[in-house]
Amino acid sequence: MTNHEEAFIKRIADRKAIVAIAGLGYVGLPLALSFAEVGFQVLGLDIDEEKIRKIGRRESYIGHISDERLKGSANLFSASTDFHLAREADALIICVPTPLTREREPDLAFVEGTLAALLDHLRPGQLLSLESTTFPGTTEEVLRPPIEARGLTIGKDFFLVYSPEREDPANPDFQTQTIPKVLGGSTESSARVGLALYGQVVERMVPVSSTRAAELTKLLENIYRAVNIGLVNELKVVASRMGLDIHEIINAAATKPFGYTPFYPGPGIGGHCIPIDPFYLTWKARGYGVHTRFIELAGEINAGMPRYVVDKISAALNDRSKPLRGSRILLLGMAYKKNVEDMRESPSLEVLGLLAQAGAQVEYSDPHVPLMPRTRRGDFGLRSVPLTPESLASFDAAVLLTDHRAFDKPFILKHSNLVIDTRGAFPAAPTVVKA
Protein backbone atom coordinates (compact mmCIF):
# COMPACT_ATOMS: atom_id res chain seq x y z
CA MET A 1 0.00 0.00 0.00
CA THR A 2 1.48 3.33 -1.07
CA ASN A 3 1.54 6.39 1.16
CA HIS A 4 -1.06 8.08 -1.05
CA GLU A 5 -3.39 5.08 -0.85
CA GLU A 6 -3.04 4.86 2.92
CA ALA A 7 -3.62 8.58 3.37
CA PHE A 8 -6.67 8.57 1.09
CA ILE A 9 -8.33 5.66 2.86
CA LYS A 10 -7.67 7.30 6.24
CA ARG A 11 -9.26 10.58 5.09
CA ILE A 12 -12.28 8.60 3.92
CA ALA A 13 -12.59 6.73 7.21
CA ASP A 14 -12.25 9.99 9.17
CA ARG A 15 -14.85 11.75 6.95
CA LYS A 16 -12.26 14.41 6.15
CA ALA A 17 -12.17 13.73 2.42
CA ILE A 18 -13.82 16.23 0.08
CA VAL A 19 -15.91 14.70 -2.70
CA ALA A 20 -16.44 16.62 -5.94
CA ILE A 21 -19.13 15.50 -8.40
CA ALA A 22 -19.07 16.84 -11.95
CA GLY A 23 -22.53 16.72 -13.49
CA LEU A 24 -25.51 17.38 -11.23
CA GLY A 25 -28.31 15.66 -13.11
CA TYR A 26 -30.38 12.59 -12.32
CA VAL A 27 -27.24 10.68 -11.27
CA GLY A 28 -24.94 13.33 -9.85
CA LEU A 29 -27.37 15.20 -7.60
CA PRO A 30 -28.65 12.18 -5.60
CA LEU A 31 -25.08 10.89 -5.30
CA ALA A 32 -23.89 14.27 -3.99
CA LEU A 33 -26.67 14.32 -1.42
CA SER A 34 -25.89 10.75 -0.36
CA PHE A 35 -22.28 11.65 0.41
CA ALA A 36 -23.31 14.81 2.26
CA GLU A 37 -25.87 12.92 4.30
CA VAL A 38 -23.20 10.64 5.77
CA GLY A 39 -20.95 13.55 6.71
CA PHE A 40 -18.70 14.30 3.72
CA GLN A 41 -18.03 17.79 2.43
CA VAL A 42 -19.34 17.71 -1.14
CA LEU A 43 -18.65 20.08 -4.02
CA GLY A 44 -20.97 19.92 -7.01
CA LEU A 45 -19.64 21.09 -10.38
CA ASP A 46 -21.82 21.82 -13.40
CA ILE A 47 -21.81 24.15 -16.40
CA ASP A 48 -25.56 24.81 -15.98
CA GLU A 49 -25.74 28.06 -14.02
CA GLU A 50 -29.46 27.66 -13.31
CA LYS A 51 -28.82 24.37 -11.51
CA ILE A 52 -26.12 26.03 -9.41
CA ARG A 53 -28.47 28.88 -8.49
CA LYS A 54 -31.23 26.48 -7.49
CA ILE A 55 -28.89 24.44 -5.32
CA GLY A 56 -27.81 27.69 -3.66
CA ARG A 57 -31.46 28.46 -2.92
CA ARG A 58 -32.00 24.82 -1.85
CA GLU A 59 -34.57 24.31 -4.59
CA SER A 60 -34.74 20.93 -6.27
CA TYR A 61 -34.98 20.70 -10.06
CA ILE A 62 -35.61 16.95 -10.01
CA GLY A 63 -39.12 15.83 -9.14
CA HIS A 64 -38.35 12.92 -6.82
CA ILE A 65 -35.77 14.91 -4.82
CA SER A 66 -37.39 17.25 -2.31
CA ASP A 67 -36.34 20.76 -1.36
CA GLU A 68 -36.17 19.51 2.22
CA ARG A 69 -33.47 17.01 1.29
CA LEU A 70 -31.39 19.80 -0.23
CA LYS A 71 -31.94 21.97 2.84
CA GLY A 72 -30.82 19.14 5.08
CA SER A 73 -27.43 19.07 3.37
CA ALA A 74 -26.89 22.84 3.39
CA ASN A 75 -23.81 22.76 5.62
CA LEU A 76 -22.00 20.09 3.63
CA PHE A 77 -23.09 20.48 -0.01
CA SER A 78 -22.22 23.45 -2.20
CA ALA A 79 -22.15 23.84 -5.97
CA SER A 80 -20.28 25.92 -8.50
CA THR A 81 -19.47 26.33 -12.17
CA ASP A 82 -15.82 26.94 -11.25
CA PHE A 83 -13.89 23.75 -12.05
CA HIS A 84 -10.75 25.25 -10.49
CA LEU A 85 -12.22 24.18 -7.17
CA ALA A 86 -11.61 20.55 -8.14
CA ARG A 87 -8.07 20.84 -6.79
CA GLU A 88 -9.52 20.99 -3.26
CA ALA A 89 -11.24 17.64 -3.67
CA ASP A 90 -9.86 14.23 -2.77
CA ALA A 91 -12.36 12.32 -4.93
CA LEU A 92 -13.62 13.46 -8.34
CA ILE A 93 -16.67 11.69 -9.75
CA ILE A 94 -17.82 12.30 -13.33
CA CYS A 95 -21.58 11.90 -13.91
CA VAL A 96 -22.23 13.43 -17.33
CA PRO A 97 -24.32 12.29 -20.31
CA THR A 98 -22.97 9.94 -22.98
CA PRO A 99 -25.34 10.38 -25.97
CA LEU A 100 -25.05 9.16 -29.54
CA THR A 101 -24.00 11.08 -32.63
CA ARG A 102 -26.34 11.42 -35.60
CA GLU A 103 -24.63 8.35 -37.01
CA ARG A 104 -25.55 6.42 -33.82
CA GLU A 105 -21.98 6.21 -32.65
CA PRO A 106 -20.71 7.01 -29.13
CA ASP A 107 -20.44 10.70 -28.34
CA LEU A 108 -17.97 11.19 -25.47
CA ALA A 109 -17.87 14.97 -25.83
CA PHE A 110 -19.26 15.56 -22.32
CA VAL A 111 -16.83 13.10 -20.72
CA GLU A 112 -13.86 14.48 -22.64
CA GLY A 113 -14.91 18.07 -21.97
CA THR A 114 -15.28 17.42 -18.25
CA LEU A 115 -11.90 15.70 -18.07
CA ALA A 116 -10.31 18.62 -19.95
CA ALA A 117 -11.82 21.04 -17.42
CA LEU A 118 -10.38 18.98 -14.55
CA LEU A 119 -6.93 18.11 -15.92
CA ASP A 120 -5.12 21.30 -14.86
CA HIS A 121 -6.42 20.83 -11.32
CA LEU A 122 -5.48 17.21 -10.73
CA ARG A 123 -2.87 16.49 -8.07
CA PRO A 124 -1.25 13.49 -6.40
CA GLY A 125 -3.43 11.64 -3.92
CA GLN A 126 -6.73 12.07 -5.76
CA LEU A 127 -9.22 9.50 -7.06
CA LEU A 128 -11.11 9.97 -10.34
CA SER A 129 -14.22 7.87 -10.92
CA LEU A 130 -16.27 7.73 -14.11
CA GLU A 131 -19.94 6.78 -13.70
CA SER A 132 -21.25 7.60 -17.18
CA THR A 133 -22.36 4.62 -19.26
CA THR A 134 -19.85 3.91 -22.01
CA PHE A 135 -18.11 1.24 -24.08
CA PRO A 136 -15.47 -1.12 -22.67
CA GLY A 137 -12.09 0.57 -22.81
CA THR A 138 -13.18 4.18 -22.23
CA THR A 139 -11.52 4.53 -18.83
CA GLU A 140 -8.21 3.10 -20.02
CA GLU A 141 -8.18 4.55 -23.54
CA VAL A 142 -9.79 7.98 -23.04
CA LEU A 143 -9.22 8.98 -19.40
CA ARG A 144 -5.97 7.32 -18.39
CA PRO A 145 -3.55 8.68 -21.04
CA PRO A 146 -4.29 12.41 -20.43
CA ILE A 147 -3.99 11.88 -16.67
CA GLU A 148 -0.65 10.11 -16.97
CA ALA A 149 0.52 12.82 -19.39
CA ARG A 150 0.25 15.21 -16.44
CA GLY A 151 2.98 13.22 -14.71
CA LEU A 152 0.63 11.28 -12.43
CA THR A 153 1.11 7.52 -12.05
CA ILE A 154 -2.12 5.54 -11.85
CA GLY A 155 -2.06 3.21 -8.86
CA LYS A 156 0.84 4.99 -7.16
CA ASP A 157 0.04 8.66 -6.67
CA PHE A 158 -3.31 8.84 -8.47
CA PHE A 159 -6.27 6.45 -8.57
CA LEU A 160 -8.71 5.73 -11.41
CA VAL A 161 -11.88 3.64 -11.35
CA TYR A 162 -15.05 3.02 -13.31
CA SER A 163 -18.25 2.55 -11.28
CA PRO A 164 -21.44 2.79 -13.37
CA GLU A 165 -24.53 4.53 -12.05
CA ARG A 166 -27.59 2.46 -11.27
CA GLU A 167 -30.21 5.12 -10.57
CA ASP A 168 -33.91 4.39 -11.09
CA PRO A 169 -35.60 7.81 -10.70
CA ALA A 170 -38.85 7.88 -8.70
CA ASN A 171 -38.61 4.20 -7.73
CA PRO A 172 -39.33 4.25 -3.98
CA ASP A 173 -38.00 0.72 -3.52
CA PHE A 174 -34.39 1.58 -4.40
CA GLN A 175 -32.12 4.40 -3.24
CA THR A 176 -28.47 5.16 -3.95
CA GLN A 177 -27.52 3.52 -0.67
CA THR A 178 -29.42 0.29 -1.24
CA ILE A 179 -28.51 -0.45 -4.87
CA PRO A 180 -25.42 -2.71 -5.08
CA LYS A 181 -22.62 -0.86 -6.86
CA VAL A 182 -20.19 -2.39 -9.37
CA LEU A 183 -16.63 -1.05 -9.42
CA GLY A 184 -13.52 -1.84 -11.44
CA GLY A 185 -10.13 -0.21 -10.93
CA SER A 186 -7.34 0.60 -13.38
CA THR A 187 -5.06 -0.98 -10.79
CA GLU A 188 -5.59 -3.04 -7.65
CA SER A 189 -4.79 -0.05 -5.48
CA SER A 190 -7.25 2.09 -7.44
CA ALA A 191 -9.93 -0.52 -6.82
CA ARG A 192 -9.19 -0.56 -3.08
CA VAL A 193 -9.42 3.22 -2.88
CA GLY A 194 -12.65 3.29 -4.91
CA LEU A 195 -14.26 0.60 -2.78
CA ALA A 196 -13.30 2.51 0.37
CA LEU A 197 -14.93 5.68 -0.97
CA TYR A 198 -18.20 4.28 -2.28
CA GLY A 199 -18.49 1.86 0.63
CA GLN A 200 -19.27 4.86 2.82
CA VAL A 201 -22.59 5.46 1.06
CA VAL A 202 -23.49 2.13 -0.59
CA GLU A 203 -24.43 -0.90 1.46
CA ARG A 204 -23.00 -3.48 -0.95
CA MET A 205 -20.05 -3.02 -3.28
CA VAL A 206 -19.46 -5.46 -6.17
CA PRO A 207 -15.81 -5.40 -7.24
CA VAL A 208 -14.90 -6.73 -10.70
CA SER A 209 -11.54 -7.45 -12.26
CA SER A 210 -11.08 -4.31 -14.36
CA THR A 211 -12.62 -1.07 -15.57
CA ARG A 212 -13.46 -2.80 -18.87
CA ALA A 213 -15.39 -5.51 -17.01
CA ALA A 214 -17.34 -2.84 -15.11
CA GLU A 215 -18.07 -0.94 -18.34
CA LEU A 216 -19.43 -4.06 -20.04
CA THR A 217 -21.45 -4.96 -16.94
CA LYS A 218 -23.37 -1.71 -17.25
CA LEU A 219 -24.00 -2.25 -20.95
CA LEU A 220 -25.19 -5.81 -20.31
CA GLU A 221 -27.76 -4.60 -17.78
CA ASN A 222 -29.34 -2.16 -20.22
CA ILE A 223 -28.99 -4.33 -23.33
CA TYR A 224 -30.80 -7.12 -21.44
CA ARG A 225 -33.71 -4.77 -20.91
CA ALA A 226 -33.66 -3.38 -24.45
CA VAL A 227 -33.68 -6.84 -26.03
CA ASN A 228 -36.48 -8.16 -23.81
CA ILE A 229 -38.58 -5.04 -24.36
CA GLY A 230 -38.03 -5.48 -28.09
CA LEU A 231 -39.24 -9.08 -27.78
CA VAL A 232 -42.50 -8.18 -26.02
CA ASN A 233 -43.06 -5.24 -28.37
CA GLU A 234 -42.86 -7.65 -31.30
CA LEU A 235 -45.14 -10.10 -29.50
CA LYS A 236 -47.60 -7.25 -28.91
CA VAL A 237 -47.90 -6.78 -32.66
CA VAL A 238 -48.44 -10.51 -33.16
CA ALA A 239 -50.99 -10.75 -30.35
CA SER A 240 -52.90 -7.76 -31.74
CA ARG A 241 -53.20 -9.43 -35.14
CA MET A 242 -54.54 -12.53 -33.37
CA GLY A 243 -57.08 -10.50 -31.41
CA LEU A 244 -55.32 -11.19 -28.11
CA ASP A 245 -54.34 -8.84 -25.27
CA ILE A 246 -50.56 -9.09 -24.78
CA HIS A 247 -50.81 -7.81 -21.20
CA GLU A 248 -53.15 -10.66 -20.29
CA ILE A 249 -50.64 -13.08 -21.81
CA ILE A 250 -47.67 -11.55 -19.97
CA ASN A 251 -49.46 -11.50 -16.62
CA ALA A 252 -50.45 -15.13 -17.03
CA ALA A 253 -46.88 -16.11 -17.94
CA ALA A 254 -45.56 -14.17 -14.93
CA THR A 255 -47.27 -16.63 -12.59
CA LYS A 256 -44.53 -19.15 -13.48
CA PRO A 257 -42.27 -19.10 -10.41
CA PHE A 258 -39.06 -19.93 -12.28
CA GLY A 259 -37.34 -19.30 -15.62
CA TYR A 260 -39.40 -16.25 -16.60
CA THR A 261 -39.10 -12.52 -15.93
CA PRO A 262 -41.94 -10.30 -17.16
CA PHE A 263 -41.21 -7.35 -19.43
CA TYR A 264 -43.95 -5.06 -20.68
CA PRO A 265 -44.47 -3.42 -24.10
CA GLY A 266 -45.18 0.21 -24.75
CA PRO A 267 -45.02 2.97 -27.38
CA GLY A 268 -41.24 2.64 -27.62
CA ILE A 269 -38.31 3.08 -25.25
CA GLY A 270 -36.97 6.24 -23.68
CA GLY A 271 -34.60 7.66 -21.12
CA HIS A 272 -30.88 8.19 -21.37
CA CYS A 273 -29.96 4.49 -21.11
CA ILE A 274 -32.10 1.92 -22.92
CA PRO A 275 -32.37 3.62 -26.36
CA ILE A 276 -28.67 4.56 -26.38
CA ASP A 277 -26.47 2.12 -24.48
CA PRO A 278 -26.84 -0.90 -26.81
CA PHE A 279 -25.29 1.11 -29.64
CA TYR A 280 -22.18 1.77 -27.53
CA LEU A 281 -21.52 -1.95 -27.59
CA THR A 282 -22.46 -2.52 -31.23
CA TRP A 283 -19.99 0.23 -32.21
CA LYS A 284 -17.19 -1.19 -30.07
CA ALA A 285 -17.93 -4.77 -31.17
CA ARG A 286 -17.36 -3.82 -34.81
CA GLY A 287 -13.75 -3.08 -33.89
CA TYR A 288 -13.44 -6.73 -32.90
CA GLY A 289 -15.05 -7.96 -36.10
CA VAL A 290 -18.36 -8.82 -34.42
CA HIS A 291 -21.76 -7.84 -35.81
CA THR A 292 -24.25 -7.71 -32.91
CA ARG A 293 -27.29 -8.65 -35.00
CA PHE A 294 -29.52 -9.59 -32.06
CA ILE A 295 -28.98 -6.28 -30.27
CA GLU A 296 -29.49 -4.24 -33.43
CA LEU A 297 -32.68 -6.10 -34.31
CA ALA A 298 -34.16 -5.29 -30.90
CA GLY A 299 -33.21 -1.65 -31.48
CA GLU A 300 -35.02 -1.62 -34.82
CA ILE A 301 -38.17 -3.11 -33.29
CA ASN A 302 -38.22 -0.64 -30.39
CA ALA A 303 -37.52 2.30 -32.70
CA GLY A 304 -40.52 1.31 -34.84
CA MET A 305 -43.07 1.29 -32.03
CA PRO A 306 -44.04 5.00 -32.20
CA ARG A 307 -44.99 4.47 -35.87
CA TYR A 308 -46.97 1.37 -34.86
CA VAL A 309 -48.89 3.46 -32.28
CA VAL A 310 -49.69 6.15 -34.84
CA ASP A 311 -50.93 3.51 -37.27
CA LYS A 312 -53.19 2.09 -34.55
CA ILE A 313 -54.55 5.58 -33.82
CA SER A 314 -55.24 6.13 -37.50
CA ALA A 315 -56.99 2.76 -37.87
CA ALA A 316 -59.11 3.37 -34.77
CA LEU A 317 -60.23 6.75 -36.09
CA ASN A 318 -60.94 5.28 -39.52
CA ASP A 319 -63.21 2.71 -37.89
CA ARG A 320 -65.18 5.68 -36.59
CA SER A 321 -65.23 7.39 -40.01
CA LYS A 322 -62.66 10.00 -38.96
CA PRO A 323 -59.43 10.71 -40.86
CA LEU A 324 -56.24 11.26 -38.90
CA ARG A 325 -55.70 14.58 -40.64
CA GLY A 326 -57.64 17.24 -38.75
CA SER A 327 -58.52 14.99 -35.81
CA ARG A 328 -57.90 16.33 -32.31
CA ILE A 329 -55.58 14.00 -30.41
CA LEU A 330 -54.68 14.29 -26.72
CA LEU A 331 -51.48 12.53 -25.66
CA LEU A 332 -51.47 11.41 -22.05
CA GLY A 333 -47.91 11.51 -20.73
CA MET A 334 -44.80 13.02 -22.31
CA ALA A 335 -42.18 11.71 -19.87
CA TYR A 336 -40.39 8.52 -20.89
CA LYS A 337 -41.50 6.64 -17.75
CA LYS A 338 -44.25 7.01 -15.19
CA ASN A 339 -44.19 9.41 -12.27
CA VAL A 340 -41.17 11.46 -13.43
CA GLU A 341 -40.65 14.63 -15.44
CA ASP A 342 -37.76 13.25 -17.50
CA MET A 343 -38.43 13.51 -21.26
CA ARG A 344 -35.05 12.35 -22.55
CA GLU A 345 -35.53 10.19 -25.65
CA SER A 346 -39.23 9.82 -24.78
CA PRO A 347 -41.19 7.92 -27.45
CA SER A 348 -44.05 10.29 -26.72
CA LEU A 349 -42.12 13.00 -28.56
CA GLU A 350 -41.79 10.76 -31.60
CA VAL A 351 -45.51 9.97 -31.54
CA LEU A 352 -46.31 13.68 -31.25
CA GLY A 353 -44.06 14.51 -34.20
CA LEU A 354 -45.50 11.77 -36.41
CA LEU A 355 -49.08 12.81 -35.63
CA ALA A 356 -48.30 16.46 -36.36
CA GLN A 357 -46.69 15.48 -39.68
CA ALA A 358 -49.86 13.57 -40.56
CA GLY A 359 -51.95 16.70 -40.02
CA ALA A 360 -53.51 15.85 -36.67
CA GLN A 361 -54.15 18.58 -34.12
CA VAL A 362 -52.11 17.35 -31.16
CA GLU A 363 -52.03 18.46 -27.55
CA TYR A 364 -50.83 16.72 -24.40
CA SER A 365 -51.51 16.34 -20.71
CA ASP A 366 -48.78 15.46 -18.22
CA PRO A 367 -48.85 16.50 -14.53
CA HIS A 368 -45.05 16.25 -14.40
CA VAL A 369 -44.42 18.34 -17.54
CA PRO A 370 -46.57 21.49 -17.25
CA LEU A 371 -44.69 23.24 -20.09
CA MET A 372 -42.98 21.26 -22.82
CA PRO A 373 -39.35 22.40 -23.10
CA ARG A 374 -37.53 22.69 -26.37
CA THR A 375 -36.21 19.30 -27.43
CA ARG A 376 -33.90 18.07 -30.17
CA ARG A 377 -37.10 17.17 -32.08
CA GLY A 378 -38.14 20.80 -32.07
CA ASP A 379 -40.06 23.38 -30.08
CA PHE A 380 -43.73 22.39 -30.08
CA GLY A 381 -44.74 25.34 -27.87
CA LEU A 382 -47.32 23.30 -25.94
CA ARG A 383 -48.64 23.40 -22.39
CA SER A 384 -50.22 20.56 -20.48
CA VAL A 385 -54.01 20.42 -20.86
CA PRO A 386 -55.97 20.04 -17.61
CA LEU A 387 -58.09 16.91 -17.60
CA THR A 388 -61.73 17.91 -17.23
CA PRO A 389 -64.91 16.35 -18.61
CA GLU A 390 -65.08 19.16 -21.16
CA SER A 391 -61.45 18.97 -22.26
CA LEU A 392 -61.49 15.18 -22.67
CA ALA A 393 -64.75 15.29 -24.61
CA SER A 394 -63.30 17.88 -27.00
CA PHE A 395 -60.74 15.41 -28.39
CA ASP A 396 -61.43 12.70 -30.92
CA ALA A 397 -59.00 10.39 -29.10
CA ALA A 398 -56.95 10.28 -25.91
CA VAL A 399 -53.73 8.25 -26.19
CA LEU A 400 -52.15 6.87 -23.03
CA LEU A 401 -48.40 6.89 -23.62
CA THR A 402 -47.05 7.18 -20.06
CA ASP A 403 -48.92 5.47 -17.24
CA HIS A 404 -48.54 8.17 -14.56
CA ARG A 405 -50.05 7.34 -11.21
CA ALA A 406 -51.77 10.74 -11.28
CA PHE A 407 -53.93 9.81 -14.25
CA ASP A 408 -57.45 8.87 -13.09
CA LYS A 409 -58.17 6.03 -15.51
CA PRO A 410 -61.91 5.62 -14.77
CA PHE A 411 -62.38 9.38 -15.11
CA ILE A 412 -60.50 9.46 -18.43
CA LEU A 413 -62.46 6.49 -19.77
CA LYS A 414 -65.79 7.98 -18.74
CA HIS A 415 -65.29 11.31 -20.48
CA SER A 416 -63.23 10.35 -23.56
CA ASN A 417 -64.68 9.60 -26.96
CA LEU A 418 -61.93 7.09 -27.68
CA VAL A 419 -58.95 5.83 -25.66
CA ILE A 420 -55.85 4.37 -27.31
CA ASP A 421 -54.06 2.37 -24.60
CA THR A 422 -50.36 1.62 -25.18
CA ARG A 423 -49.71 0.49 -21.60
CA GLY A 424 -52.44 -2.02 -20.83
CA ALA A 425 -53.82 0.27 -18.14
CA PHE A 426 -57.47 0.38 -19.22
CA PRO A 427 -60.00 -2.46 -19.07
CA ALA A 428 -61.58 -3.80 -22.22
CA ALA A 429 -64.38 -1.48 -23.33
CA PRO A 430 -66.05 -0.38 -26.59
CA THR A 431 -64.18 2.93 -26.50
CA VAL A 432 -60.76 1.41 -25.69
CA VAL A 433 -58.29 0.29 -28.35
CA LYS A 434 -55.12 -1.51 -27.31
CA ALA A 435 -51.99 -0.32 -29.13
Q: What confidence tens digit (pLDDT) does each residue in 220-272 have?
A: 999 999 999 999 999 999 999 999 999 999 999 999 999 999 999 999 999 88
| pLDDT score of 377 | 62
| pLDDT score of 45 | 98
Q: What is the dihedral of CA 175, 340, 109, 206, to 10 degrees?
A: 20
25 and 155, same domain (yes or no): yes
As a whole number, the mean pLDDT across the chain is 95
Residues 6+ apart with CB under 8 A from 193: 5, 8, 9, 127, 159, 161, 185
Tell me what the mean pLDDT of segment 310-326 comes to: 97
Query: Is it the case that residue 169 has pLDDT exceeding 90?
Result: no
**Is residue 428 in some structural domain?**
yes
Confidence of residue 378 (pLDDT cuts 50, 70, 90): low
Tell me what the mean pLDDT of segment 34-39 comes to: 96
Active-site hit among 29, 128, 273, 420: 273
| pLDDT score of 376 | 64
159 and 294, same domain (yes or no): no
256 and 402, same domain (yes or no): yes
370 and 423, same domain (yes or no): yes
Tell me what the mean pLDDT of segment 301-316 comes to: 97
Which DSSP letter does residue 84 get? G
115 and 198, same domain (yes or no): yes
| pLDDT score of 176 | 87
114 and 164, same domain (yes or no): yes
| pLDDT score of 311 | 97
Percent of the chain with pLDDT over 70: 99
Tell me what the mean pLDDT of segment 306-327 comes to: 97
| pLDDT score of 193 | 98
Tell me what the mean pLDDT of segment 89-105 comes to: 94
Confidence of residue 379 (pLDDT cuts 50, 70, 90): low
147 and 287, same domain (yes or no): no
Query: Is it the case that residue 60 has pLDDT exceeding 70?
Result: yes
Q: What is the CATH number of the domain that holds 28?
A: 3.40.50.720
**Is residue 350 in some structural domain?**
yes
Using DSSP, how many helices (H) and how many strands (E) does the chain show? 16, 13
**Is residue 292 in some structural domain?**
yes
163 and 90, same domain (yes or no): yes
Residue type present at position 12: I
Tell me what the mean pLDDT of segment 98-114 comes to: 94
Distance CA 144, CA 127 (A): 12
254 and 114, same domain (yes or no): no
**Is residue 408 in some structural domain?**
yes
Residues 6+ apart with CB under 8 A from 99: 107, 110, 272, 276
90 and 179, same domain (yes or no): yes
Query: Is it the case that residue 52 has pLDDT exceeding 70?
Result: yes
Q: What is the DSSP string of 108-145?
A: -HHHHHHHHHHHTT--TT-EEEE-S---TTHIIIIIHH
Last residue of a domain, one of 156, 189, 208: 208
Distance CA 136, CA 115 (A): 18
**Is residue 230 in some structural domain?**
no
**Is residue 34 in some structural domain?**
yes
Tell me what the mean pLDDT of segment 88-102 comes to: 96
269 and 374, same domain (yes or no): yes
**Is residue 226 in some structural domain?**
no
| pLDDT score of 172 | 80
Q: Is the dihedral of CA 37, 43, 46, 47 positive or negative?
A: positive
Neighbours of 284 (CB within 10 A): 21
Owning domain of residue 253: 248-434
* Annotation marks residue 95 as catalytic: no
Distance CA 64, CA 381 (A): 25
74 and 162, same domain (yes or no): yes
Distance CA 156, CA 139 (A): 17
pTM: predicted TM-score of the whole model, two decimal places: 0.93
Last residue of a domain, one of 151, 178, 208: 208
Query: Is it the case that residue 38 has pLDDT exceeding 70?
Result: yes
Number of domains in the chain: 2
Which DSSP letter does residue 422 get? S
